[in-house]
Chains A and B, each alone.
Chain A
Amino acid sequence: MTRIPPYGASTGPAPDPAALAAEVKALLGAGRRDEASQCFGQLVALCQRRALRLAFHYLGNAADADDAVQDAFVKLYAHMTTYRPDLSFDAWFARIVVNTCLDQLKARRRLPAWSAGLHEPAWDVAASLPTHEPSAERRMLALDAWRAVLDGVRRLPARQREVFVLTHLDEQPPQAIAQALGMSPATVRVHLFRALRRLRAVLADQS
């Protein structure tokens, strides 16, 4: 039986998410729940921004992104004992985040029309950025670019959108996306090309 050292005893470099996930799984398996949740807290800190990036892009709204990220991490912890270290943690985690966002979009569609305004995209985020900074103009341009891409991405079919978001925002290689979405790398490339064809006008207009 492998002996698991006490959590935090290591003084080496910061572990990567996959190593942390493996450690959480081992601690949960050994019944050391307090240490597991402590270790999981470190994993959350490492992956939080990445999850928010995906959720924000999917949901376009800070409050919904916050909810989705929390739900995704709780799901991740609940299924941590099924984690397979031989497979890509990044791909697995991305799939959990994306599925959580899709669930939230479905729930949003079921909301009555009167509450639709509560979920308007947070375009006014741009307005809240400080304008006196030298980089403010650059950030405004970046937000404009994101708005244009997001506007096009929202019209994509579900699969194409998933592949595009994971490729573009999560910067995952086709193999990892194929693993996350349960399809072949060739199919990932086809979906990506079709998504880009639909976004062609968005890409070509930015001259």
Chain B
Amino acid sequence: MTLFRRHPDAATLGQAVLGGADPRVMAHLRSCLRCRRERDRIAAFLGDARDGVDAAIDAAFGPAALERQRQAILQRITKGGGGARLLRFPHGSDQPQPEPRPGTRWLIAAAAAGLLIGGAAGQLPSLLAPARNAAPSLAPVAALPPANWRTDDTLLSEVEAALDRDTRGEFDALDALTPIHYETR
């Protein structure tokens, strides 16, 4: 009699090979020749896979390579290397930076404060005299008098004087040619 209605699948048989199988499976295997054969086939396959790793190791690591690896390990531990190898970024020092002492901290803080105060003091005159740095005014610049301004002034005076005179002989010929309003009516 078998406790399993169906035959166990490859996963269950694989577990029987590697250990940790259900006791019911083991009981089934004792009574079922077909499943035993299948289990043996899986066991052989997994054994072959293990042998495959060993063959690959044999091909890649001969006795000399194994000894070289052992020596490399011993060299690393005797050099005092504790952890695994690290590829450091190729910049800066490998040594850890020392923690600044309290006195050093005060010096750094005083230097930073001095820098700030100096900067502010440098800006102070310009803050107190804003007009000096103000933008140029847009008010029109007063025009300078032309160099011949006195000549023009004289001319205007002469025109006024000419207009103030009662008779103007220069215009008599022109006046004679001009028709008079009441004569044309």
Contact = CB atoms under 8 A, between A and B. Distances in A.
A159 interface: no
Contact of B41 (A40, A44, A49, A206): A206
Contact of A129 (B13, B59, B69): B59
Given A40-B77, A71-B85, A146 B56 contact: yes
Contact of B60 (A78, A122, A193, A204): A122
B134 to A, nearest CB: 58
A168 B83 contact: no
B15 interface: yes
B100 interface: no
A146 B83 contact: no
B77 A77 contact: yes
B84 to A, nearest CB: 4
Nearest to A123: B56
A143 B57 CA distance: 11
Nearest to A62: B60
Max chain B C-beta neighbours (<10 A), residue from A45, A66, A122 = A66
Interface of B: 9-15, 18-20, 41-42, 45-46, 48-57, 59-61, 66, 69-70, 72-74, 76-78, 81-85
B55 A142 contact: yes
Contacts of B59: 125, 128-129
A122 B11 contact: no
25 contacts: A56-B53, A65-B60, A66-B61, A70-B73, A71-B85, A74-B77, A74-B83, A122-B60, A129-B59, A142-B48, A142-B49, A143-B52, A143-B55, A144-B52, A145-B48, A146-B51, A169-B53, A174-B20, A189-B20, A196-B10, A196-B18, A200-B11, A200-B14, A204-B10, A206-B42
A77 B84 CA distance: 11
Interface string A184-202: 0100110011001101100
A29 interface: no
A196 B10 CA distance: 8
Contact of A196 (B15, B49, B50, B84): B15
Given A167-B18, A168-B18, A189-B20, A74 B84 contact: yes
Contacts of A185: 20
A30 interface: no
Contacts of A129: 55, 59
A174 B54 CA distance: 23
A167 B85 contact: no
Contact of B14 (A75, A143, A189, A196): A196
B70 A44 contact: yes
A69 interface: yes
A147 interface: yes
B57 A49 contact: yes
Given A37-B74, A52-B61, A203-B10, A69 B69 contact: yes
A125 B56 contact: yes
A199 B14 contact: yes
For B50, B72, B85, the residue with the greatest tally of chain A CB atoms inside 10 Å of its CB is: B50
